[in-house]
Structure 1
């Protein structure tokens, strides 16, 4: 049975875009926000000007600042906070969440302190909810294009196929195509780490290194994503799909990418604090770079691009020197490297 009431938490750019897709699918959509001003603007003017400018939102989207009102009675709950806010919201859900409610998250990142994936954070805070029914939605999907109904393809993953297929049915329409995948780890790792490589792509472009350099960065970046994902238990084929190469390409090449813009500004000499203040929205790749470094140590995996970006972001290394150091690394046989990462045969 298709859910009739769907709640989206929170009313950021991606949450608003997903709410629009659901509203176009004839759902009654509740969009939750802490901001009373934002709630009033959505309900009275059908706009969310901070995140979607003057785009008119469908009339079957209504907003509330009451989490209880948003969640109780909902057939599906879609979580779209920044990674830093996921635990807090998941914890608050405990008082209202029904075990039979469809639960989806569309946040790309790791928790900073624990380096847990978002589905792991949710599972910890909702111990009464079957963790295999937690669905992750990811893939190459800029909110700015989704809200304009530009053709988009995403992937949903869950431990239980039935949960993923229910979310597929919830979202799929003529402009928003949804594929299913059983590999929750791979989909979450790909969605998070592509933001790190996008920072590097912005640095490369800001330094004027051209298309050759960026092509190399994306290719080697995909190898890093696959290498860590494989070590964490992901399926290698996931990184050849929408949550891997698809999301990597769109985030590293698009004018909509906050992570690319942040890297570009850093290359131009803008301090990190000023870059983040200028963005006005979360740049997940900065937090994820820290997490990637920690995960590389935990799983004894080499992530040279992420390591150099960490030094640029947090140790004051110049972007130009970082790129030179990457280019000056010891010789490696590409096929041997590929064989032990995402596109090789999965190791036992």
Structure 2
């Protein structure tokens, strides 16, 4: 393993992690890092579905706090996708344990960091949470920050109840069968500077229309959700953030700049207590799906809340800027509130 300059340029470096081959052949993951000399704190970021690490503003924030920053491009995603592979495909989410374990080993044993925060976004949040549950009691991670984690299918209970077993059966019999995708291209358009957004990233690694949706991958997600519903028993503090609202639209809508256009934010918050015994839930007004890419006021709130939590639970020195004034948000879904009670 050798770190070389990353596609983002200095100060980012990347190393290819060779993993066990699967049915499609050779497999690798990519570990990106930005070191803070002398730091004993580190954070490992795990991206979402149809995604890869490009969120340098997130790395900027962590390094300003004194964290060395690491990010994984998981197998068959982003920097790690190879021509012979089905993009994003796995049969079980536990397959990702291999690259997370290796990244943790490098961060702790080779690079010498004594404290480690795991930060997952969307599907990466589900993967990180399941991994942390399986590693409970081993003291390999000190906390989790989950940014709009994929803890529930963006559908009603009836659809989830009926559709889950059907998808699992299809995924078992025909794992690489391509299913109709509901990925909203307008979400990616709301992010990218060449459309309606302010961020620059590679649209071949994160295409607006997404990659094929495989039945086996979706079955793996359903299996992960079933495991979550039984409780994960994560034994370190967890910070879960989600927007205060979601939006569903097939055409461009300005509301895409102020709501989660991928998942149901209320459902994310409702599942939070199943993660472990020590879960902090924060709802972000005007937050989008990837909260750190929200509009300036919302992402300022995200970072302020993160800093406050890090100071309280991981003993990270508090920054000088106080939390911006904002009303408390009820984390419960509307249908869980007593009749007549509003948010």
> What TM-score, normalized to structure 1?
0.31
Structure with greater strand share of residues: 2
Structure with the larger helix share: 1
